[in-house]
Structure 1
Amino acid sequence: MGTWGAGPFDGDAAADFLGELAAMPQDRRLGAIRGVLSTAAAERDYLEAPEAEMAVAAAALLAAARAGRALPDGLAYGPQLTIGPPPQQLAVLAGHALDRVLAPDSELAELWDESDGGGREWRAGLARLRAELTGRTD
Structure 2
Amino acid sequence: MGTWGTGYFENDTALDFMGDIEEADDPKELFEETLAETMDMDFLDADQGAAVIVIGAYIDRQRNGTQYSAPEHPGSIDIDTFPDRHPDIDFSELRTTVIKALKKVLANDSELNELWAENEGAYPVWRRNIEMLIERLSEK
TM-score (norm 2): 0.83
1:135 and 1:69, CA in 2 relative to 1: closer, same or farther beyond 3 A? closer
Structure 2 unpaired stretches of 5+: none
1:72-87 matched pairs, under 5 angstroms: 72-74=69-71, 76-78=76-78, 81-82=82-83, 83=86, 84-87=89-92
Report what 1:47 is aligned to: 44
Structure 1 unpaired stretches of 5+: none
Contact 2:24 2:30 in 1 (8 A): no
Shift >4 Å, 4+ stretches: none
Identical pairs, percent: 28
Report what 1:37 is aligned to: 35
Displacement, 1:132? 0.8
| Cα distance in structure 2, aligned partners of 1:38 and 1:118 | 29
| Cα distance in structure 1, aligned partners of 2:39 and 2:57 | 15
Aligned length: 132
1:86 and 1:131, CA in 2 relative to 1: closer, same or farther beyond 3 A? same
1:93-112 matched pairs, under 5 angstroms: 93-112=97-116
* 121-130 vs 1-10, greater mean Cα deviation: 1-10
Contact 1:5 1:11 in 2 (8 A): yes
SS, match of residue 8 in structure 1: coil
Report what 1:15 is aligned to: 15
Deviations 1:45-83 (A, max 9, x none): x21100111111111111111113454234601166444
Deviations 1:67-117 (A, max 9, x none): 134542346011664442322x30100101011111101100000000141
Structure 1 residue 134 corresponds to structure 2 residue 138: yes
Report what 1:2 is aligned to: 2
SS, match of residue 55 in structure 2: helix
| Cα distance in structure 2, aligned partners of 1:69 and 1:127 | 15
Contact 1:14 1:53 in 2 (8 A): yes
Say what the alpha-carbon RMSD is for the aligned residues: 2.0
